[in-house]
């Protein structure tokens, strides 16, 4: 297992960067997954490791805003008695600062905020309405947390939905812009690496990062 993980990490390290010019075709969108305070800086599920993805997400959002790229930002947002708390400790409760998008992203703005009550933002009616309202989008760049939970579920569902619907869609995942957390029974290195491999095998396009023109 350790050898296989090492070999996969070597493949990830060898990924090419994705040129920003290729994203300026009028057919690209950005989806930011759960870059909220409750996963980055406060609350029982917050993690410095997850917060490490913020700078890359900030760069992506700045680029999207400057180039008129439509952007969706998912925010985990739950009622105090939500069913998900049977699986995860209470987090990101509506009306608390945990459910708010990170201040660095709020300061940029330019995104459509979609609150979600589960780990899979694709299932929200608001996102499905957004997807239907943007039929010309052929590439969605995804960033955020957590790689092996909300990011992976969204990417896999989006890709398989588009396959089923015969809609051409590239799901692009810059690996420097996603992260997961360390916890007992949840090894971030292993879980994150396995999630990236699962996504690549399902047709998600992995890239080292978006390369910006200076």
In this prediction, residue 2 has a pLDDT band, given cuts at 50, 70 and 90, of confident
pLDDT of residue 132: 96
Q: Domain ranges in the chain?
A: 29-211
Mean residue pLDDT of the chain comes to 96
Q: Which residues pair with 185 in a beta bridge?
A: none
Place 1 in a pLDDT band, splitting at 50, 70 and 90.
Answer: low
Residues in the chain: 214
| Tokens representing residue 14 in the block | 């060898």
Q: Predicted confidence band at 4 (pLDDT cuts at 50, 70, 90)?
A: confident
What whole-number distance in Å separates Cα of residue 76 and Cα of residue 122? 12
Q: Which pLDDT score is estimated for 94?
A: 97
pLDDT tens-digit readout, 19-32: 999 999 999 999 99
pLDDT at 53 over 70: yes
Summarize pLDDT for 74-133 with one digit per residue, the tens.
999 999 999 999 999 999 999 999 999 999 999 999 999 999 999 999 999 999 999 999
Task: Give me 121's structure tokens.
Answer: 């933002």
Percent of the chain with pLDDT over 70: 99
Identify the architecture of domain 29-211 in CATH.
3-Layer(aba) Sandwich (3.40)
Tens digits of per-residue pLDDT, 166-186? 999 999 999 999 999 998 889
Please provide the DSSP assignment of 45-72 as one string. T--HHHHTTHHHHHHHHHHHHHTT--EE
Confidence of residue 5 (pLDDT cuts 50, 70, 90): confident
pLDDT of res. 118: 98
């Amino acid at each position: 297992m350790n050898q296989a993980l090492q070999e996969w990490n070597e493949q990830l390290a060898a990924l090419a960067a994705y040129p920003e010019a290729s994203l300026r075709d009028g057919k690209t969108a950005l989806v930011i997954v759960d870059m909220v305070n409750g996963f980055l800086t406060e609350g029982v599920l917050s993690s410095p490791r997850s917060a490490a993805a913020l700078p890359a997400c900030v760069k992506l959002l700045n680029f999207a805003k400057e180039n008129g790229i439509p952007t969706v930002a998912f925010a985990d947002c739950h009622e105090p008695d939500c069913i998900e708390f049977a699986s995860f400790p209470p987090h990101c409760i509506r009306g608390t600062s945990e459910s708010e998008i990170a201040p660095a992203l709020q300061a940029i703005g330019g995104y459509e905020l979609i609150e979600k009550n589960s780990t899979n933002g694709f299932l929200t009616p608001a996102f499905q309405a957004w997807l239907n309202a943007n039929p010309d989008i052929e590439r969605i760049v995804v960033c955020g947390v957590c790689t092996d939970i909300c990011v992976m579920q969204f990417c896999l569902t989006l890709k398989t939905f588009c396959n089923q619907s015969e809609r051409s869609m590239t799901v692009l995942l810059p690996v420097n812009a996603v992260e997961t957390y360390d916890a007992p029974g949840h090894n971030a290195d292993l879980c994150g690496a396995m999630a990236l491999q699962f996504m690549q095998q399902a047709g998600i396009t992995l890239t080292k990062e978006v390369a910006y023109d200076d």
